[in-house]
Structure 1
Amino acid sequence: MLLERQNELRVAVEALRLTARGSGSLVVIAGPPGIGRSALLAEIGELAARSAGGPAGAPRPLVMRAYAAPAERDLPLGVARQLLEPVVSSGAFVTRWGSGPARPALAFLQGHPESPRQHSATTPQALLSLVEHISQDRMAVLLVDDLHWADEATLDWLDHLARQVAHRRILVVATVCEGEHPAGPPGDRVLGAVEHTLRPAPLGASSVEALVLERLGATPDPEFAAACLSASRGNPLHLVSLLQECRARGVAPVAADAERAAALVPPVLRRRLLLCLRGQPLSVLAVARALLVLGDDADPAAVGELAGLDPVERDDSLWRLRRLNLITREDRPRLAHRVVHEVVEEATAPGERDRLHQRAAALLRYRGGTPEQVAAHLLATTAHLDKDAVAALREAAGAAVRRGDPETAARYLRAALRDALPHTEERAGLLVELAAVERSFAPSVAIRHVAQAFPLLPGPVARAQALTTLTPVVPGVTLLSLDDLLRRTARELGGPGAPARDAGDVHGAWGGEAAGTAEDVGGPGGHGVSGGVGVQEGVRYAEVSAGPGADGVTGPDDRESLVLRLEARLRHLGENDPAVLASAGERLAGLGEPPALDCGGRRELLVSLLHATTVSGTRTAATVAALARRVLDHEPARAAHVHTVLPLMVPVLVTADSLDGVSPWLDTALADAERRGGRLEESVIRSEQALVLLARGRWAAARERAVQACSLVGPKDLSTLSALATVMVALRTRAPELADALPERLRGVHENGELTGLLMLVRGAAAEQRGEPHRAVEHFLDARYALERAGWRNPAVAPSAYWLARALHRTGATERAEQMSGQHLELARAWGAPAGLGRALALHATVTGRGTAPRLLREAAGVLEDSADLHTRATVLLRLAEAVGARQAAEAEDALRRSYALAVECGATAVAVRAQELLGATAVRAAGRSTQLTPAERMVARMAVQGLTNQAIADALGVSRRAVEKHLTSCYRKTSASGRAGLATVLGASDGPGPQEPPLTSGGAVQPQGAA
């Protein structure tokens, strides 16, 4: 089936018509391989043969065919023999056609083709006379396929024939493959007399669909046809080969298989192109290889340099490749399609490919290419990399980190490590660099690489800097435990105030004399860099991730700061040890009052100590909150805080119920993590956000954040902070199934006592939901034992007594329940956080009965006015309303109004529904309208209700009068209130002052408080 060749066939028909009238011509069909030259030549031959039945008196055509081939180029007049030998063999009119000057042609055509005596100087002229004699009786149609491979004598003969056809009934039609002419561009001989040049165009979409229907037997989906057209670029041979391969592989012409079809590489086409390419001059193959290696970095100048060609040879080779349709016609040449890539790759030996990639990397460095362009070529070679190549890979890794692609950066550094000699400082430095990148997406692997580098590093400062690149909140397993590596390095550095490893270790990790001198530590300044790739450079990716001035994030530190960082990590690792927790208070006091926060090491140690005193309950909530807030004010919000112990600051503030400014700080850090592409950073920060949302009583949002945090990293790399956040959310929201999704290594019994205890609490809560209170009591007792053994006694983070008292109360063990509840309440009062104390008071009200419930619930409601936990506040107010009931109707209604508003605000549906039932429809509508107001609008409305003028409100808040008017207008619209009296009715007594509502700006926007 010949498609889209109507124009070419019209030209051929016209040429045949004129030839029959005695006006012959030379027609050339030119184009790249596979465009359909031979098919069009055969169709012209069929047209000529069919013209035999033309008008009476018209000469009958005589069609003669020949096929030139490279293997026969040494056979003189071989193509001419193919054309005329069948005519002589047929015997028709041979006597008349071979008479006179044509007689030597008969001897030549009837003799042996390889006999040199058959070819004399008169033979070409005799052959011309033979064709002329034929044209006197018949219309001579000579068809020559692949004329470019014809022998020299035939080309000369055809050149003479072409000059004589204009006044004879002779039509010569030849095909020429552009780019395959062995001696130069076509046209030097025969083509100089061309009358018509036909250039078949690539097939269009409709023809592709028709061919798919013919070859695969079904009308293709548009996506499938488009994929075939794109893959073949409309080349008929390529398209037919592709469809044959589709049929052989069972690929259907449907949209779902479009991508699969486009990816096929037909073997027939590949062999054809490979033969075509190998038949070209060596310079053409050299340019094709250069294009394969350079890819998108190719420009003519770079291609010529890489191929080792001068501009003339380069341009000629590019011209040939364009004529062969193997490259695009753009200013920056590219290999045309995937088949060409594979063909060129097959024609290139692996060693040559490695050499070209190395040379391309050097060329791009010289020409000012980007570091990642250079690195792409270095990744593609398996040859040995020199120092310049390693430096280029490290530079590319830095660029990848800056653009937020740590995984690509790790690929570059692994390639740089490939040829680094074992047991060298250079290898150690590269391993530390790699770990600093891998910690963002594979922290367990980063720990292993630091452990491999550890014995190769030149001194304790270098080892300390390497250890501080690791992420403390992610556990890891190495040949030596991280605890041992930290402790050994700390002893070598020397320093005061170490945590004791056990009760008998009076000297601690820093006990005894310092293990090394300045010479032991390393070169000048004691940074442990004596040559090659030092650890100073090995940690520079951590500095890049932290940004300029990254004090506190594994950048080059002084000796004192490193000592403090190591101590902070050791204390964090020792938080399962009651002795370590007990020593935290004394160490905290030794930091001074107030502690200095002038360097990152001090801030890290302070946070570690605050977390230890928080979980052990040896300081009050107010004390730890004040110190933690100082750290928050000094620490910039960025993703790199995840790789320190600073994430422990969020649980401290959550436990202390002091959350002002924490959310915007975490939002900024999360945006930084997303920009930098750090999955681990994003996971940890979302876990921190889950804890904050949980503490604010926004359970649904907290659960969503916890699930997101666990889904961002693999089971091996889930942080302990994410696991603890998930367990806390599961416990508070009564969703034990969340904890079931944690990796088995975190859900089993292991050394992490606090996590084990909290998981037991979750199992107890699940038993309660199943209606198994006695089983729940057993789980809660086990949890109490595990948490106390770990030294976790703060009722806000280790609420085993809370859950145990509830379960005992439900089983009827009232006395034991009151005892547990009383103990929990006593500890909560000692800690002093409003949320924890409010919950403890509410529990005690439940356990002790109706007589004490109103008093305890009133106290709880009062305490919770200063809490950020909206859910707990709403629940306690609802219980207070139910407790006072009809005896205190006004108090009950006030409590219900506030409970409903808070429940709606935090999404506590069950509490809101119950409050609505008790409150009544009219009051609910007023309370509902009030909850529609933003905190800023509610503040302005309250001040207006108190009688302040708009200007007075503006002056008090430090904003413009226009801003106040905008907020009041919004209040009237939302509440449907008529004037300030209406606002007073809507707000009512239930809308009391909230906790530290944010101020207005002159533009009317709310500014977050406490942002660092």
Structure 2
Amino acid sequence: MQQLLERERELAVVDELLERGGSVVVEGRAGIGKTALLDAACQRADGVGREVLRARGSELEAGFAFGVVRQLFERRLVSAEETERATLLTGSAGAVRSLLLGEPVESSAFDTSFAVLHGLYWLTVNLADGRPVLIAVDDAHWTDEPSLRWLAHLAPRLDGPAVALLVALRPSQTGGSLQALLDEAQTVARPELLSETAVGAIVRGMLGSGAGSQLCAAAWAASGGNPLYVTELLRAARSGGRPLAELDPAELMAGGREGVARRVLAGVRGLHPGALLFAQALAVLGDGCELRHAAALAGVEVADAISLAAALVRLEVLAADDPPRFVHPVVREAVGASLASDARDALHRSAARLLHADRAPPGQVAAHLLAVRPVGDACVVDRLREAARAAIRDGAPAAAAALLSRALSEPPSPGQRVAVLREAARAEAAAGREAACVHLEEALALAADPLKRGEIALEVAETYAGLFRWVEAVDVLERALTELGEADDELAARLEGELVVCGLHDARRASRVAPVLERLSSRSLSDRAVEAQAVAKGMAMLLGGRPAAEAARPLEEMLSRAAAPVENWDTRAALMWTLVAAERFNSVETALGPMIAEVHRSGSARGFVAVYSSLGLLKLRLGALPEADAAARVALRVLQEGDFAPGLAFAATVLADVAIEAGDLDAAQALMGLLPQGGWPAGVGTVLIPAARARLRLAQGRPADALADFEECSRMFSAEVWGTEMRDVGYLHARSGAAQALLRLGDRESAVSTARDELADVRVFGAPRALGIASRATGLAEGGGRGLELLHESVASLRESPALLELAHSLTELGAALRRAGQRNAAGEPLGEGLELAVRCGARRLAARAREELRATGARPRRAWRTGVEALTPSELRVVRLAIDGATNREIAHQLYVTLKTVEGHLSRAYTKLGIKGRAELPGVLEPEKTRVPTP
């Protein structure tokens, strides 16, 4: 291995990486020695027993989805024995079978990127189980976007020695995933230019000790201290034929990249008449290409290509590797730059035809077509569409969208354009991009047939809904229904079904729902339209404050008949949230099991969001805070990975409520910071934001601010805004919250009036959890004997519900009210039970309040725990519960969609708080039945 001069600091970083694991990025200009550092790291890793997986980005493959990931893992998996391969792809890692092995997939989901990212993480972990791994990626600035996104996903998740990630890249101003990788890396090393002394050592190493100081100084000045340029300058001078020691220092001054290009091209031209074209073919095909492909592209026999490759190795243009590789990207760039634009275009087209004929992966073929000028070639469009389908299958919708955008620029024939637009829209929608709607609107404008226009309009609306743009969805559907008329009842029913669900999500279009819902009732409906109709009816009744049983009935009936796969996850999410609000907890829990299994099979990002946000809300309402936290975090991660920012409220508000109950107000504030701070249109999703913020402000001791937010919720949920009857009964409880804020502000009269209004509506609604909350708020507002009666009623109602956290709140408030009324003996029992339930739920803030009240009665409750179960955060408690159930760290990480590092951290902190040494002692300090909230 060549000696690396003035790189002691960087080599120390490498040694630490190989010892401790983690992630390091080496950032530096071309020629600074990044590749040499990676070479040294790989040799050292091999020497200490690490398995080395290495890849290199290239300009050509930047458009080949997961090209770098394939370099890292594909050959390793294919060469593995069948039993080892099965082990490597166990669990969540199975999501990458299609990507890395080409196995067919059953899923028709377009949005599998989250499952693939998670699967690649677990493949890495599984590989490192048998032997520690070094993942080394050179020239990451040319890495394809999906691979780069995975590297940024992986970097912060590495802890411990098992996996080491080393990435080299040039400085870039592009931001995006490249900047995310830099931000997430645990260490960033930036090698500096070499000193004059170091350059002199290189010169004397090549020329001998007789090289004069003037020559060394000239080499340093000409190269600027760039190691590659120093070497190339001396190689260029050596090719002149004179002894290097006799060179005039002035001859070295024309250095830099231009000097490298001149040296390389002059040398290649001097080899053989066909050498330059062969080198250009290698540059076009990229490092690691098949020699036979380069031969065919250059029009030479394979035997001649072998001889030319050997000559290029001797000339130090190619490395002595098989398959062929240029010694440095700068050298490859110099050869590629020697091609005129028309010649380069022709070679890329020929390369695409050659690779397609040889059954190369579609993405590899498309990488060449992305480099050619659009000329209206139908074959180019076909190849790009094939590559886009492969990218979608492999979990790279953004890459598919880029390929289809290029196909549209070719352009396709008029007869093909609508189809390509629809494909591009699906890819953009799966990536969470609003460009999807632009493509579909164009497709809609181009389609002439009314039925085709109706089908496209439905797709446009579903895309708008997927981006949480309900108003645009309704408007498109209304226009389509007008155009369709009576031409197709089935299609009309599907359009109307989508319209009623979308319309009920946003107040600005809610008034359009009732007449459409009436028409739907008279139609013969498909299963999909039946689900939409049932959801719309249930939502309308719930939002109108009708009895919970009445609102839930059509949804439960529909759910009992629903078959897999789920066709529309947005509609299914609305169904589940409506049933949770109607307190049909058992129905929701039963239905979620098969849905979770389905999203794990399909990898659908929309499915993950729908299922895990619903599960998070369910567990929050039940008071199972650790489970609510775990589920909502999965939904939040998927939303953030997919850029579905408008949907963040469905997960972030659940997490904020969990944090408030756990007493972590800073975490709650940070979660609310992810969401818009004002200017929300009135809708069932947007109204969650001021409601959660109000609860946080109440917990922070800011009742006036809380009241303003609760009043905003009531305004957003009013009949005046929605144009139809609205009653907030089981959804937000904004009036109960407002009554608490008014009470703290000293306005008891307004508090009583506000709480009574909600209680009256909730009595009609008839669900025990909602009744318990409203009775509690009214009892606190009323005070006195009537207040105690209502608090007793609240406790009685909640004993009919599995919502144990709300029961704990009401027991605590009842005990506190009894104490204030001078009934200290009677107060002890509800306060003690409230404390026990609060601890079981993980509600540390409520537990502290119950303990304080118990002390005020003269009781001596156990002191607040800084150790023990009460000290555990919801996330820690969830992990502990799974460990008690016998799950391994790996199984816990798979189930919660977190890393092993996260699980190990939670358990380590839990052991410390519980005063134990390991998981074997967990059952002894946490009795299982006392650490969990029963579910219905």
Q: C-alpha displacement at 1:875, in angstroms?
A: 1.2
Q: Does structure 1 retain, via aligned residues, the 8 Å contact 2:281–2:347?
A: yes
Structure-2 change in CA distance of 1:246 and 1:839 (3 Å): farther
Q: Is the 1:572–1:645 Cα contact (8 Å) retained in structure 2? A: no
In structure 2, the residue matched to 1:696 is 622
Alpha-carbon shift at residue 310 of structure 1 (Å): 2.7
Between stretches 666-675 and 368-377, larger displacement belongs to: 666-675
Deviations 1:729-759 (A, max 9, x none): 6578496846863565x72154x35667665
Is 1:904 the counterpart of 2:839 in the alignment?
yes
User: Secondary structure of 1:747's partner?
Assistant: coil
Match for residue 601 of structure 1? 529
- The match for 1:748 among 664, 676, 679 is 679
Q: Deviations over 1:346-381 (max 9, x none)?
A: 221221121111111111221121222222222222
Using the TM superposition, give the Cα deviation of residue 633 of structure 1 relative to its aligned residue in structure 2, in angstroms. 4.9
Distance 1:973 1:864 in 2: 31
Q: Aligned pair 1:365/2:344, yes or no?
A: no
* TM alignment of 1:36-115, pairs within 5 A: none
Name the SS for the 1:304 alignment partner: helix
Give, in whole Å, the separation in 1 of the partners of 2:616 and 2:629: 7
Matched, 1:409 2:400: yes
Residues of 2 paired with 1:756 and 1:822: CA distance?
Answer: 26
Pairing 1:799–2:726 present? no
Task: Indicate conservation of the 8 Å contact 1:806/1:817, yes or no.
Answer: yes
TM-aligned CA distance change 1:566 to 1:767, over 3 Å: closer
Pairing partner for 1:307 from 298, 305, 325: 298
Tell me which structure has the larger Cα radius of gyration.
1
Distance 1:397 1:763 in 2: 42
Aligned pair 1:723/2:723, yes or no? Answer: no
1:823 aligns with 2:749: no
The answer to whether the 8 A contact 1:444-1:477 is kept is no
Aligned partners of 2:735 and 2:755 also within 8 Å = yes
Separation in 2, partners of 1:620, 1:440: 37
Q: Contact 2:710–2:737 at 8 Å: present in 1 too? A: yes
- Counterpart selection for 1:895 from 827, 830, 844: 830
Gaps of 5+ in 1: 5-208, 221-227, 230-238, 254-263, 495-513, 519-557, 939-969, 978-982, 998-1012
* Counterpart Cα distance in 1 of 2:787 and 2:523: 44
**Alpha-carbon distance between aligned partners in 1 of 2:640 and 2:3, rounded to the nearest angstrom:** 55
**Aligned letter for 1:466?**
I
Alpha-carbon distance change, 484 to 903 in structure 1, aligned in 2, over 3 angstroms: same
Change (3 A) 1:383 1:488: closer
Q: Which structure is richer in relative contact order (CA contacts within 8 A, separation 6 or more)?
A: 2
1:645 corresponds, among 571, 575, 595, to 571
Q: In structure 1, which of residues 414, 425, 429 is the aligned counterpart of residue 419 of structure 2?
A: 429
Structure 1 pair 741–867 and aligned structure 2 pair: CA distance change class (3 A): same
Could you tell me how far 1:446 is from its partner in structure 2?
0.9
TM-score (norm 2): 0.59
Structure 2 partner of 1:56: none
Asked whether the equivalents of residues 687 and 721 of structure 1 are also in contact (C-alpha less than 8 Å), the reply is no
Deviation of the 1:839 alpha carbon? 0.6
- Asked if 2 retains the 8 angstrom alpha-carbon contact of 1:404 and 1:675, the reply is no
Q: Which residues of 2 match residues 339-358 of structure 1 at below 5 A?
A: 339-358=330-349
Alignment of 1:391 with 2:382, yes or no, is yes
Aligned partner (choices 420, 426, 440) of residue 450 of structure 1 = 440
Q: The residue matched to 1:468 in structure 2 has which SS? A: helix
1:706 offset after TM fit, Å? Answer: 6.2
Aligned to 1:461: 451
Q: Residue in 2 aligned with 1:785? A: 715
What is the CA-CA distance between 1:572 and the residue it aligns to?
3.8
**Superposition deviation, residue 401 in structure 1:** 1.3
Q: Sort the Cα spacing of 1:583 and 1:568 in 2 relative to 1 into closer, same or farther, 3 A.
A: closer
1:836-885 Cα deviation digits (max 9, x unpaired): 21110111110111313443223322322343433212111222333445
Q: Is the 8 A contact 1:321 1:327 kept in 2?
A: yes
Aligned equivalent of 2:806, options 869, 872, 875: 872
1:902-950, CA deviations, whole angstroms, 9 ceiling, x for partnerless residues?
2123211122234445286788999x99999979999xxxxxxxxxxxx
Q: State whether residues 283 and 333 of structure 2, in contact with CA within 8 Å, keep that contact through their aligned partners in structure 1.
A: no
1:562 aligned residue (494, 518, 532): 494
Distance 1:418 1:646, change over 3 A: same
Residue among 475, 483, 496 paired with 1:492: 483
Q: 2:551 aligns with which of 617, 624, 628?
A: 624
What do residues 698-728 of structure 1 show as CA deviations (whole Å, max 9, x unaligned)?
Answer: 5577578768766766799646543355457
Q: 1:882 aligns with which of 803, 809, 816?
A: 816
Gaps of 5+ in 2: 5-190, 207-215, 231-254, 886-918
The 1:747–1:272 alpha-carbon spacing in structure 2 relative to 1, beyond 3 Å, is same
AA of the residue aligned to 2:551: V
The offset of 1:487, in angstroms, is 0.9
| Aligned-pair CA distance for 1:391 | 1.8
CA distance in 2, matches of 1:456, 1:655: 43
1:850 aligns with 2:784: yes
Deviations 1:226-267 (A, max 9, x none): xx99xxxxxxxxx999976774579999xxxxxxxxxx9743
| Aligned position for 1:579 | 511
Paired residues in the alignment total 657
Distance 1:778 1:559, change over 3 A: closer
User: Which one-letter code corresponds to 1:433 in the other structure?
Assistant: E
CA distance in 1, matches of 2:626, 2:921: 31
RMSD: 5.2
How is 1:42-441 mapped onto 2 (pairs within 5 angstroms)? 215-216=197-198, 247=224, 266-295=257-286, 298-384=289-375, 386-420=377-411, 424-441=414-431
Corresponding residue SS for 2:463: coil
Q: Which has the higher helix share?
A: 2
1:687 & 1:491 partners in 2: Cα distance? Answer: 35
Task: Check whether the contact 1:441–1:678 (CA below 8 A) recurs between aligned residues.
Answer: no
- 1:821: Cα distance to partner? 1.5
Structure-1-length-normalised TM-score: 0.55
CA–CA distance in structure 2, aligned partners of residues 823 and 421 of structure 1: 62
2:733 counterpart letter in structure 1? P
SS at match of 1:851: helix
Partners of 1:655 and 1:492 in 2: how far apart? Answer: 37
Letter in 1 for 2:454: A
The SS at the match of 2:300 is coil
Residue matched to 2:36: none
Contact 2:451 2:488 in 1 (8 A): no
Give per-residue Cα distances to partners, 1:172-194, cap 9 Å, x unaligned. Answer: xxxxxxxxxxxxxxxxxxxxxxx
2:583 paired residue number: 657
Alignment check: 8 A CA contact 2:815 2:830 kept: yes
The 3 A distance-change label for structure 1 pair 493 and 764 is: same
Q: Is the 8 A contact 1:787 1:798 kept in 2?
A: no
| C-alpha separation in 2, matches of 1:328 and 1:251 | 14
Q: What per-residue deviation string (whole Å, max 9, x for no partner) do you get for residues 150-179 of structure 1?
A: xxxxxxxxxxxxxxxxxxxxxxxxxxxxxx
Other structure's SS at 1:645 match: helix
Does the 8 A contact of 1:706 with 1:729 survive in 2? yes
d(CA) in 1 for partners of 2:654 and 2:548? 19
In structure 2, distance between residues paired with 1:252 and 1:615: 71
- Residues 1:827 and 1:298: Cα distance change in structure 2 (over 3 Å): same
After TM superposition, give the deviation of residue 445 of structure 1 in Å. 1.5
Change (3 A) 1:816 1:896: closer
